[in-house]
Amino acid sequence: MSYEPCRATGIAPRDLRFQEAVAMHEHADLVVVGAGTVGGWLSVFAREAGCERVLVVDQGMAGYGSSIRAAGMVRTQGGTPTAVHLGQETVAFYAGQHERYGIDSGFRSLGYAILAFGDDDRQAAAARLAMQAAEGLPSRWVEPAELAALAPHIDVERLTGATFCALDGAIDPPRNVTAYMTVMHRLGVDVRERTRVTGLVLDGTRVRGVETDRGPIMADRVVLAGGYGQGRLARLAGVEVPVGAVRHTVAVTSPLPSVAPDAVMGFDLAAGLYWRPEEDGLLFGWSNPDEAPGEAQGVDWAFAERMRLRLGELVPAAAGAGLRRIWAATIDYTPDHLPVVGPARTPAGEELEGLTLASAAGHGMMWGPAVSRIGADLALHGTTAVTDVSMLGVERFRPDGTSRLATDPIALPFPDRAAAVA
């Protein structure tokens, strides 16, 4: 076995001085890098599973990657069986959260209509519904007339119908950050904000800890939950993870008295536009199909105007409505829109023992708790009962970044090739 010197000390692990140096450093049973919703809930599940000293490190403030800026859409209507399982697990988690912790992420079931505009959409929906039914999901097809009754705010004139699932709903993302931070604090998870991980301490192919800009932290188990920065983070250990980053934008209209506060949520997949009720108006979010990957925080006002007009076509009450809030942020994604969760492996396929990857592929609100549960299970026990994870690891990607898994067709953002964050 080869030993790499600990960069922080410059001393090789076999050297006795290494042991002395290690003794002076901090120790944890598990270090989680990233205090977003994935790392946050993962640390909670690890503590609940009996892991004693759990330490979460974040280069910024907890939640201030993507997690606090999300739209909060939670959908069980996935396009693949794995996506359905992750959605079901997550909705069950949110539904039981208040009873379990006395604090919640604000989840409410509103029902979600994925709109169909022609025969092709209708056929694709039929195939999806059959797959979802086989997974036990109570989703169904609704004809335009029934949709008009369920969701009077949607103009059904040019629709052939929609798929609908009453289980789907929304959380409040800032409240979710408050919820996991509160539970972390209560369970004694140690959180280090404004602490950047700059390297991994490796003993051959075994992880021994992380190096940070405030000194090393030793741990035999490390989870990387770096959100859209996961590619850059994993590269510190020589692991290539095709997690990309791209702009995603959300806006909230001024109050719309004719739209019910519990109105059904809607998704115009082809346009990349979705909406849900928020603050007496509608929250709507989108990805631009032509947007080049990369980190982005600024609003593309021309495209925002196109989406505002599109919303007005589908929800006439929103036509001409003013905007109360708008924000753009960077969202994570993977080439097949499915999470990357599993052991870290080098491009040669060698497993880095003790190092686990966990990212939710741009679906951290609707799948985050499920991905966190899987990540904690794998990091602590090497196995999970949440779903079949045999194809969710980084090894499913070919050297060019494409996946061996079928892409989830019900997903945003659009770019199908991950551009690693520089």
Ligand X SMILES: Cc1cc2nc3c(=O)[nH]c(=O)nc-3n(C[C@H](O)[C@H](O)[C@H](O)COP(=O)(O)OP(=O)(O)OC[C@H]3O[C@@H](n4cnc5c(N)ncnc54)[C@H](O)[C@@H]3O)c2cc1C
Residues that bind ligand X (CB under 6 A): 33-39, 57-60, 64-67, 69-73, 196-197, 225-229, 233, 248, 250, 285, 329-332, 359-360, 362-366, 368
**209, 258 Cβ separation under 8 angstroms:** no
**101, 179 Cβ separation under 8 angstroms:** yes
CB of 228 to ligand X, least distance (A): 6
CB of 141 to ligand X, least distance (A): 24
The answer for residues whose C-beta is within 8 angstroms of residue 372's C-beta and 6 or more apart is: 37, 38, 39, 40, 41, 42, 44, 45, 225, 358
* CB closer to ligand X, 53 vs 196: 196
Q: Residue 254 carries which side chain, given as an amino acid letter?
A: S
CB of 144 to ligand X, least distance (A): 26
Angle at alpha carbon of residue 30, lines to 354 and 175, rounded to 5°: 125
* CB closer to ligand X, 161 vs 221: 221
CB of 159 to ligand X, least distance (A): 22
* CB closer to ligand X, 144 vs 375: 375
Angle at alpha carbon of residue 233, lines to 231 and 235, rounded to 5°: 70
CB of 133 to ligand X, least distance (A): 23
* CB closer to ligand X, 329 vs 378: 329
* CB closer to ligand X, 59 vs 160: 59
* CB closer to ligand X, 67 vs 132: 67
CB of 293 to ligand X, least distance (A): 13
Nearest to 236 by CA among 398, 4, 391: 4
Cα separation, 23 vs 180, in Å, equals 31
Residue 421's CB is within 10 A of a number of other CB atoms, namely: 21
**44, 69 Cβ separation under 8 angstroms:** no
* CB closer to ligand X, 72 vs 161: 72
Concatenate the DSSP letters of all residues of 279-339 into one string. Answer: TTEEEEEE--TTPPSS---S--HHHHHHHHHHHHHHSGGGTT--EEEEEEEEEEE-TTSS-
CB of 120 to ligand X, least distance (A): 26
Cα separation, 133 vs 130, in Å, equals 5
